[in-house]
Amino acid sequence: MSTLQDFLNSHPVDNLTEEVVISDRFKGKDGKLMKFTIRAMSADDMASYQKRAMKINPKSKDRKVEIDSGAISKAIVINHTVVPNFKDAASIQKLGCFDSDGYLQKVLLAGEIEELSKEIQRISGYNMNFEELVDEAKN
């Protein structure tokens, strides 16, 4: 077996996690920045998020497909952030939200959602920027 094969067999990516700082807004009582724990996503995960975010514009004569990039970012963050858990039912209920999407928007600023999404994409091996990913999904 090759050295590369041995490396791959010893380093599966199905549970790859990392701690990241996304904003100086998140500081603990000790003044230190708090970190989010994120998990890498698979190509199938990304394809699923892109597919769910595609909509045919009913006003378009040529039935042009539009992609909601915000919906993709939110799906990435909700499904690939380990800590905090944006799917936690008690937290969702506590803040009077109905679902993870509403909770996410209640606790993070729009730019923080995008930054967290970018970090998840980075550890998942996506070296393109988000607009390039959206363009790729359209084709």
Residue 80: per-residue pLDDT: 97
Query: Would you say residue 26 has pLDDT above 70?
Result: yes
Taking CA atoms, 27 is separated from 31, 84, 87, 136, in Å, by 5, 14, 22, 37
Average pLDDT of 93-120? 97
pLDDT in tens, 80-94: 999 999 999 999 999
Q: Which helix (H) or strand (E) holds 38?
A: strand 36-39
Residue of 133 and 75 predicted with greater confidence = 75
In terms of phi and psi (left: phi > 0; alpha: psi -120 to 50; beta: otherwise), the region of 106 is alpha
User: ∠ at Cα 138 (136, 139), nearest 5°?
Assistant: 70
Residue 4 CB partners (closer than 8 Å, separation 6+): none
- Between CA 96 and CA 93 the distance in angstroms is 5
**pTM of the shown model:** 0.83
Residue 62: per-residue pLDDT: 73
